[in-house]
Chain A
Amino acid sequence: MSLNLVIVGAGPAGLAAAWSASQSKANVTLIDQYDQAGGQIWRGGTHAAPKRYQHLFAQQTELRYLNKTHVIGANADHLFLATPNGPQQLAFDRVILANGARELFLPFPGWTLPKVLGVGGLQALVKGGLPIAGKNVVVAGSGPLLVAVASQLKQRGAIVKAVVEQAPLGQLLRFGRSLAGYPSKIGQAAQSIAMLRNTPFYPNTWVVAAEGAGAVQQVRLSNHHSIECDYLACSWSLIANTELAQQLGCKLEHSFVLVDRGQQTSVNHIYAAGELTGIGGEDKAIVEGQIAGFAATGNYQAASQLAHKQAQARQFSQQLATSFALRPELRQLAQANTLVCRCEDVTFEQLQNQPSWRSAKLQTRCGMGVCQGRVCSSATQYLFGWGQDSVRFPIHPVSVADLVMESV
């Protein structure tokens, strides 16, 4: 009987894992919450992906793709799924977690106004049909995603009024110099920078407030500039979607899943690749995905040949983390009446005297709403230094009927 390998997430890491696993006789199931594979980076289908992944679906009869499916929980040998056809339990021998990252949002006055959204969030909606040509956009926060998305938006005709990066210029220049070690990154960066040559770029600067009636109309910056805009795209960093890994018992380190050189987590037969193990973008996702796919199917020889690339990717990931470390001033942005929990509308003032995250949850309902703390728990961790609570089943909100399993 061939090995049942389940890959969670069909972005670059998941597709790379599926490709290398397909070199063996494994029975591969690939799961994703969207209609189409591709994840955030290759969003809207695999046509944006390298050729070998585009062909994956056509060639591999062994590959089963479960789209529009959420993994809502797990035990030692089954994943619990919510599929368009109802609940399903999926037995596994091996799991590769490749379910990526989300953006870190920190509260500031006006951040709950309509059309203030994530940088990746705006990118996703534009790919989903939001017309951006002729619209005034401010892109703010931190990280290389700002420049990458700003240049894409400009390419589509957006008027990017400013790119606002909280990291100091010296740190950015050091980061720029370090790119010399990563030729593919230089190309991408050069393209983006060329695209943005007439766009104001403010390093060492951050959004202090968004203002407007009914939707954002103006953004105030820490350098005392005010900019009128139709959209404010703002995110401060990326955070790994570790909920499923935690349900499976995998150890975390600094909020990322801890893995060995073969991408195996602290739990036997559970692997993790891509942003889950540290933010590093497409290259890291692909090499880690490939290694995980090889290692999970016993192809250690092939996995070890990628060790050098893996080390490089991880080093880049480290550099990203230090170069774009968040400055302490960002903790002061929220005012007493600024909402911190958007699901339950809990203000900063209601939270600031709570002794712990658990107490804040129980006494104010912060983090008890539909996002289950995905937005506010990382924010409060940063703002108040609180720890995290355990992950509750189901990982994603689903219908009652989706929790009724046939038999377990």
Chain B
Amino acid sequence: MSSAIIVGGGIVGCAVALELAQAGVQVTLIERDCLGSGATAAGMGHIVVMDEGEAQLKLTLYGQQLWQTLTAAHPQRHEYHECGTLWVATDAEEWQLVAEKAAVYRQHLIPCEILDAAALYAHEPALRAGLVGGLLVPNDSVVYPPKSAVYLWQQAEKHAAKLVYGEVRSIQANAVQLSDGRQLHADAIVIANGQRCIELLPELPIRAKRGQLVITERYPNLIKHQLVELSYIKNAHASSGDSVAFNLQPRPNGQLLIGSSRQFDRTDRQIDQQLLSTMLRKAIDYVPALADVRCLRTWTGVRAASPDGLPLIGQHPEQAGLWLNVGHEGLGITTALSSARLLADQMLHRPAALDLQPYLPRGLQQEQR
């Protein structure tokens, strides 16, 4: 394989571009708007090790390690900030989860610290009274993904990668057709355009999960860690309906990002006031001082969700030369670098650091052909 076209200039596409270009592949990246402007710009940029299953944990942990390497030289270029994640327990049931979660992390040698109520308030005095404790995972961090996407791209450009602005209309064998009539050819095509992949390949088992976020003015002293409710996975990953889960992030500049919410199959940009209200009510419940915090802006973004929550990384099961890196749901920033590495390993016949089996493209929908 000597050339590749990558569809989608988000964080995943840019990471794949760098992996392939570095290995000597002639890369062409196609972006419809500007680099890092889709889900990459809409998310929180939380680099977090998630433990909803072994495969997810390994992919996110691998991703986190690659992020640490990437950002080590110039952390401020990525607005990288190791604020840690503090999982907050509200009751006895969630306190039980703290112990279980800690056990899993420790088994994988991931540093973590169980906090009782007193320790929790010492770390985060703005949390409401009556909480039972939490789990601090200090190596989790935040980045500003649009800048990282451009950084990755600039590195790829040094290896002769080319950027083409345009909208891909269809995929053929070893070629893509743009809506303005241009046709581009390469040995391999990589689909890395998030939820829009189903417009090109309707057989992919990807559904839109829309989220809404709020960003505030600068309040540098309110919280120090990314605060997430312990029932996050339970609340965030229901298989249908609208849901909210408390997730509050301190940006390095003092701004706060307030999340999170999920809505299936919606891709429009109209704010859902009801869901926003529910989400913010929950945030105020956890951190009462948020009530008076000034909001600057709200927006929506679309996650690409697979049925089992794991991304599809590898060759299309039925089309040789067509490669996929999609379906990262809410973890696409964390898993961008690890998934790009794993994809490149497959394309270049290199040994991979993880067992690839759980991530290989799967579950194609036959009836939609």
A–B contact with Cβ pairs below 8 Å: the answer is: yes
List residues of B whose CB falls within 8 A of some A CB: 33-37, 41, 146-147, 150, 214, 216-217, 258, 269-271, 273-274, 276-277, 280-281, 283-284, 290-299
The verdict on A392 contacting B297 (CB below 8 Å), with A363-B146, A397-B217, A400-B283 known, is yes
Chain A minimum-CB-distance residue to B278: A404
Across-interface contacts of B295 in A (CB, < 8 A): 394, 397-400, 402-403
The answer to whether B271 and A393 have CB atoms under 8 Å apart is: yes
**A390: interface (CB < 8 Å):** yes
The answer to whether B41 and A400 have CB atoms under 8 Å apart is: no
30 contacts between A and B (CB under 8 A): A73-B271, A73-B273, A75-B273, A355-B34, A358-B37, A362-B34, A362-B37, A362-B41, A362-B146, A363-B146, A393-B297, A394-B297, A397-B296, A398-B294, A398-B295, A399-B291, A399-B293, A399-B294, A399-B295, A400-B214, A400-B284, A400-B291, A400-B292, A400-B293, A401-B284, A401-B291, A403-B214, A403-B276, A403-B295, A405-B274
Across-interface contacts of B281 in A (CB, < 8 A): 404
Across-interface contacts of A403 in B (CB, < 8 A): 214, 276-277, 280, 295, 298
**A336: interface (CB < 8 Å):** no
Across-interface contacts of B37 in A (CB, < 8 A): 358-359, 362
List residues of A whose CB falls within 8 A of some B CB: 73, 75, 80, 355-356, 358-359, 362-363, 368-370, 372, 390, 392-394, 397-405, 407-408
Across-interface contacts of A355 in B (CB, < 8 A): 34
Given contacts A358-B33, A399-B292, A403-B276, 8 further A-B contacts (CB under 8 A): A362-B36, A363-B146, A370-B217, A370-B294, A394-B295, A399-B291, A404-B277, A408-B277
Shortest C-beta distance, A375 to chain B (Å), equals 14
Across-interface contacts of A372 in B (CB, < 8 A): 296-297
Q: Is the interface of B mostly helix, strand, loop or mixed?
A: mixed
Shortest C-beta distance, A319 to chain B (Å), equals 38
Chain B minimum-CB-distance residue to A355: B34
Shortest C-beta distance, A269 to chain B (Å), equals 19
Across-interface contacts of B292 in A (CB, < 8 A): 399-401
Chain A minimum-CB-distance residue to B294: A397
In the bound assembly, the distance between CA atoms of A397 and B147 in angstroms comes to 25
The answer to whether A400 and B280 have CB atoms under 8 Å apart is: yes
In the bound assembly, the distance between CA atoms of A372 and B292 in angstroms comes to 19
The answer to whether B150 and A363 have CB atoms under 8 Å apart is: yes
Across-interface contacts of A393 in B (CB, < 8 A): 271, 297-298
Residue from A80, A399, A400, A405 whose CB has the most chain B CB atoms within 10 Å: A400
Shortest C-beta distance, A182 to chain B (Å), equals 42
